[in-house]
Amino acid sequence: MQTFHVNRRLVILCALVIFVFSVFVPLSAQDDGADETFNFAIGVSVRDLEPTVSTGIIANMLDYVLETLVVTNEAGDILPGLAESWEVAEDGLSITFNLREGVTFHDGTPFNAEAMAFSLDRWQDEVVRGRANPFTSQLITNAEAVDEYTLLVETAFTADLVLANLLFTGYGAISPNSINENGNIYTPAEGEDPGESSYQFPVGTGPYQFDALAPEGMTVTRYDDYWGELPYYGTVEFQFIPEAGTRESLLLAGQVDMILLPPVSDLVSLEENEDVQVLVAPGNRVIYIAFNTADEVLSDPRVRQAINHAVDKEAIANDLLFGAATPATSIVGEDVFGYCQTGPYEYNPERAQELLDEAGVSNLELNFAAPTGRFLQDFQVAQAVSAYLGAIGINAVPTTSDYGSYVGSLFLPPEAQTLDMHMFGFAPPGPDAALGMYFISHNSQISPRGLNTAYYDNADYSALIDEAFTNSDSEARAEALCDAQQMIWDDAPWLFLHFQDFPIVYRTGLEGITYRSGEKFDAIYARPSGS
Amino acid sequence: MGRYLLKRTIGALVTIVGVLTIVFLMLRLVPGDPARLVAGLTATPDEVEAVRDRIGLDESLVQQYGIFIGEFLQGDFGTSIYSRQPVMDDIIERLPFTFQLAFLTMIMTIVLGIPLGIIAAVYEKTWVDMLISVGSLLGISLPSYALGLLLIVIFAVNLQWLPAAGANAGVKSVILPAFTLSLIFLAVITRITRGAMLDVLSQDYIRTAQAKGLRRRRVISTHAFRNAMIPVVTVLGLQFGGLMSGAVLTETVFGWPGVGLLLTDAIFNRDYPMVQGVVLFIAVVFVFANLFVDVMYATIDPRIRYG
């Protein structure tokens, strides 16, 4: 019996030693960045990594893994990425890219023109295309390798516009050998069989390689054969934390290094907190309230201009959004190609009243709807607008519903639309004014066909945008876009509110964290200060 | 007992189909167009139509219902409109998280709630009783949303004892969400225990036990406790079902990737098959937890027999 007792003690001792080691050893092994993890809390739960349908923050996460031909910076310039340089043909409808040499995919496959053409041609594949944005999928008509590192891309629209779109992560290079590996599925359509494509294990050329996607987050690890500068952190862990207040707490507790989108009402206190740094990246998502221009009263531009004069957008941006917004001076943001300053509409209730009197409108009642929790402080802004309108005798009390129902209530033909005004926000798919304007105001996009939910039907305006889609002369494009911006500003089919900023907060003691045009963070080269 | 079980199981199935029907109708009768959300706001009408066709929304409501129930009976819970993964795979992937949370919550509720209830009953109408009653009233009145954030600020941000959220710190991660969730149920269990104990303590046999000279501690722990547990076990069983749905908010606050968070995402995305799948899952847990409680009665109270 004695031996039994000794054994039991031994077992307990061993268990204790193992336990102690398992708890403390990983903590003491952190000497350089390769063993360190950058923890990052974001607000979306990601369940689908297919690059061609990725949006917003998901695309931003994939940017760690996938690289595109061209990249952008804080100012929205188009810069070399996987392409070192490019030439645009005379007609503007084809681009020849000279690709970077010595680049490899994470699975060892060499990156070359063939691989890039494969990645772009994927958009033309019915199996993949079924899910992708139809506008984006028709931009490129053909991509082919001229030689090992020269790629010819034929486009449906002018090169300027296509280059701005090529920044999208969905156009990133993926390893041709990866589409049937690691759980990725690709079966081409054949006869009756529609085929299948599921690309959930991205293999690209980026500084990080994809490791795992789990219900609680996504992990990427450093790719040590990366062609460019190696990042500091060996591992980056994205945690999915939907609640903004919780993300903020994680950061304040020191359990993550960086968060996106804290509660805006806390921006001021975060800025005063020495433990964290706040980076308010300017966004180019325009927030507006669309008028039903098919309505009898609202078809008069004077009424719409009056409402634009009646609302103090400065005050809304400063007081309701705590400075995390820039009042609109045009329909598109300042950092996109073709931006032209056309505003603001001065806050002037007397002028508003005059315009209403001129139009012969009094005791106006407007049906007004706004979403809740979709855009920064959206319903609060709607309530403020309602109060401003009350001051000039317009009764417009906002109603709200869940986002699904809300969107449903916008995509209606004019005759079925009962709303007089509704709030919405739109971010262009690339830093080009034409992309910012086309989807929400071109007359081919009038709801329910598209997102022109103001029913703004202006043939001259639409012709100017068409010109910006096709003209290969950048200056002429800019001119057409400027004219169009002035036209829609004066017509005022919307109450132009503001451009929503994109707040990023990280712990003090880090550097190398920045942003890129179009609501994107850039923390790939984050590192402790001084390392 | 066998006949009783069969009867109850059939009843449970009918309840589940009823729940499914209501969810099916509710999802489809609210305004809004999931095809539009899936296809994207800038999609063309053709694209939206193609999506509608793919996810079967172009059929009539009756046909959709027929297909839905048919597939359900074959054990097919459909495919997520968004991730295109089978709904069951997603739920199963997240089950361990939810069960971990539910398990710890249940333990915390029992370990804290029952003793608190007994103490409140024993010290009836003293300040101890008052304190416990007010405390449990607070627990039940505070929305888990506010409570969760409050606990995060205290225990994670200020004291730095526990992770604020997420699921990457092992068991430590689940303590705060479980405690938040247990506070809601704690209130119920404490009050039920207190009530049941008071009931039992006023019975004749307790007086007899005391009169024959048994120590008060023994009277409470053996004679009163066991008999007071019947309503407590009932409520615990019912709460277990409620736990599954109560976890929805708590999981969202804490970013705990269980079934509740899956449901919140699915509702916002109008992911019909996913919402149906998760609601079905919750309904099944609820119904069978009830059934289990009924069967357990017989074990606790030998007087109860089912014929």
pLDDT in tens, B103-130: 899 899 889 888 898 888 888 888 988 8
Q: B34, A404: Cβ pair inside 8 Å?
A: yes
> In terms of pLDDT, which residue wins out, A283 or B245?
A283
pLDDT reported for residue A387? 96
Whether chain B has a CB inside 8 Å of the CB on A250: the answer is: yes
Q: Rounded mean pLDDT of chain A? A: 89
pLDDT value for B278: 87
Provide the mean pLDDT of chain B.
82
pLDDT at B58 over 70: yes
- The whole-number pLDDT of residue A207 equals 97
Mean pLDDT score, A270-291: 94
> Quick check: bond before A188 cis, omega within 30?
no
- Give the total residue count for chain A: 531
Q: Give percent of chain B with pLDDT exceeding 70.
A: 95
pLDDT at A251: 94
Q: What is the mean predicted confidence (pLDDT) over A43-47? A: 84
Closest CA to A437 of A529, A348, A510, A333: A333
pLDDT at B90 exceeding the cut of 80: yes
Neighbours of A10 (CB within 10 A): 10
In chain A, what is the straight-line distance between the N-terminal and C-terminal CA atoms, in Å? Answer: 59
Q: Is the pLDDT of residue A18 over 60?
A: no
Residue A151, pLDDT score: 96
pLDDT of residue B225: 79
ipTM computed for the complex? 0.79
DSSP string, A477-512: HHHHHHHHHHHHHHH-SEEEEEEEEEEEEEETTEE-
Is a pLDDT exceeding 50 seen at residue A24? Answer: no
Tell me the backbone φ, ψ of residue B245, rounded to 5 degrees. -80, -35
Residue contact A134–B47, C-beta within 8 A: yes
pLDDT reported for residue A23: 47
- CB contacts of A198 in chain B (<8 Å) are 84
Per DSSP, what are the bridge partners of residue A155?
A: A140
| pLDDT (average), residues B41-56 | 76
The kind and range of the H/E element at B91 are helix B87-122
Q: Where are the alpha helices (DSSP H) in A361-458?
A: 378-391, 403-410, 433-441
Report the gap between the CA of B298 and the closest CA in chain A (Å). 40
Is the four-CA dihedral A210, B264, B79, A50 of positive or negative sign?
Answer: negative
**Dihedral sign, Cα of residue B263, residue B269, residue B271, residue B276:** positive
User: Which of A116-125, A491-500, B253-262 has maximum average pLDDT?
Assistant: A491-500
Of chain B, the percentage scoring pLDDT greater than 90 comes to: 1
At A320-376, the pLDDT tens digits run 999 999 999 999 999 899 999 998 999 999 999 999 999 999 899 999 999 988 899
Q: Which of B31, B166, B254 sits opposite A409 (nearest CB)?
A: B31
Q: For A403, list phi and psi in degrees, rounded to 5.
A: -60, -40
Asked if residues A158 and A131 have their Cβ atoms less than 8 Å apart, the reply is no
Q: What is the DSSP string of A176-190?
A: GGGTTSTT-EEE--B
Percent of chain A with pLDDT over 70: 93
Q: For residue A523, what pLDDT band results from cuts at 50, 70 and 90?
A: very high
What is the rounded radius of gyration, in angstroms, for the C-alpha atoms of chain A? 26
Taking the Cβ of residue B98 and every Cβ of chain A, the question of whether any pair is shorter than 8 Å is answered with no
Q: Which of B27, B41, B256 to mutate to test the interface with A (most CBs of A within 10 A)?
A: B41
User: What is the pLDDT, as a whole number, of residue A209?
Assistant: 96
Is A402 in the B-facing interface, judged by CB distances under 8 Å? yes
pLDDT at residue A1, as a whole number: 41
Instruction: Give the pLDDT of residue B299.
Output: 67
Model confidence at A133, in pLDDT bands (50, 70, 90)? Answer: low
Q: B263-300, pLDDT tens digit by residue?
A: 888 887 778 788 888 888 888 888 888 788 777 776 66
Is the pLDDT at A520 greater than 50? The verdict is yes
Tell how far CA A510 is from the center of its chain: 24
Set of chain B residues whose Cβ sits within 8 Å of the Cβ of A403? 268
A439-465: pLDDT as tens digits: 999 999 998 888 899 999 999 999 999
| DSSP secondary structure code for residue A111 in this structure | P
Residue B69's pLDDT band (boundaries 50, 70, 90)? confident
> Helix, strand, coil: what percent of chain B each, to 5?
80, 0, 20
What tens digit of pLDDT does each residue of A95-108 get?
A: 999 999 999 999 99
DSSP secondary structure letters along A336-369: SBT-----PPP--HHHHHHHHHHHT--SEE--EE
Residues A391-395: contacts with CB under 8 Å, at least 24 apart: A391/A310, A391/A349, A392/A306, A392/A310, A392/A349, A392/A352, A392/A353, A392/A356, A393/A353, A393/A356, A393/A362, A393/A363, A393/A364, A394/A307, A394/A310, A394/A356, A394/A364, A394/A365, A394/A366, A395/A363, A395/A364, A395/A365, A395/A366
Radius of gyration of chain B (CA): 24
Nearest to B44 by CA among A451, A235, A59: A451
pTM of this structure: 0.84
Please tell me the distance from the alpha carbon of residue A173 to that of residue A176, in angstroms, as a whole number.
9
Q: Which residue of B has its CA nearest to A410?
A: B32
Give yes or no for B50 touching A (CB within 8 A): yes
Helix (H, G, I), strand (E, B) or coil at A11: helix
Least CB–CB distance from B252: residue in A135, A243, A409: A243
Mean pLDDT of A269-294: 94
pLDDT higher than threshold 70 for residue A29: no
Q: Are A493 and A293 in contact (CB under 8 A)?
A: yes
Instruction: Tell which B residues from 8 to 47 touch A, by Cβ distance under 8 Å.
Output: 30-34, 36-37, 40-47
The sign of the dihedral angle between the CA atoms of A415, A417, A419, A424 is negative
Smallest CA-to-CA distance from A62 within A193, A236, A188, A181 is with A236
* Higher-confidence position of B143 and A213: A213
Q: What is the per-residue pLDDT for A17?
A: 56
Q: Which candidate from B168, B261, B270 shows the least CB-CB separation from A217?
A: B168
Whether A451 and B168 lie within 8 Å, measured CB to CB? no
**Residue in this structure with the two tokens 């089912």, named with its chain if needed:** B306
Are B164 and A198 in contact (CB < 8 Å)?
no
CB B84 within 8 A of CB A48: yes
**pLDDT digit string, tens, across residues A368-416:** 999 988 899 999 999 999 999 999 999 999 999 878 788 888 888 999 8
State residue B30 phi and psi, 5-degree precision: -70, 145
Residues A349 and A352: their CA atoms lie apart, in Å, by 5
Q: Give chain A positions within 8 Å (CB) of B160.
A: 253-254
pLDDT at A517: 87
Which of B37, B38, B42, B52 should one mutate to test binding to chain A, selecting the residue with the greatest count of A CBs within 10 A? B42
How much is the pLDDT for B167?
76
> Which range scores top for mean pLDDT: A71-75, A110-114, B207-211?
A110-114
- CB-CB under 8 Å, A41 with B156: no
Residue A26, pLDDT score: 44
Asked if the C-beta of B152 comes within 8 angstroms of chain A's C-beta atoms, the answer is: yes
Q: Which among A134, A246, A404 is the nearest to B43, CB-wise?
A: A134
Residue in B30, B45, B255 closest to A240 by CB = B255
Give 3-state DSSP helix, strand, coil % of chain A, rounded to 5: 35, 25, 40
The answer, yes or no, to whether residue A506 has pLDDT greater than 90, is yes
- Model confidence at B307: pLDDT above 70: no
Flag if A133 and B264 touch (Cβ within 8 Å): no
Query: Considering CB atoms only, which of A239, A429, A439 is closest to B168?
Result: A239
**pLDDT tens-digit map of B165-208:** 877 777 888 889 998 888 888 888 888 888 888 888 888 888 88
* pLDDT score, position B136: 82
H/E/C letters for each residue in A391-402?
HCCEECCEECCC
DSSP track, B103-121: HHHHHHHHHHHHHHHHHHH
Residue B287, pLDDT score: 84
Q: Report the pLDDT value the prediction gives residue B37, as an integer from 0 to 100.
A: 73
Instruction: Give the lowest-confidence range in A197-206, A329-338, A419-428, B13-22.
Output: B13-22
Q: What is the DSSP letter of A231?
A: P
Structure tokens, B73: 């009976």
Q: How far is B278 from chain A (nearest CA, A)?
A: 15
pLDDT digits (tens, 9 = 90+) for B131-162: 988 888 887 788 878 888 888 888 888 888 88
Closest Cα in chain B to A447: B45
Q: Would you state the pLDDT for residue A94?
A: 94
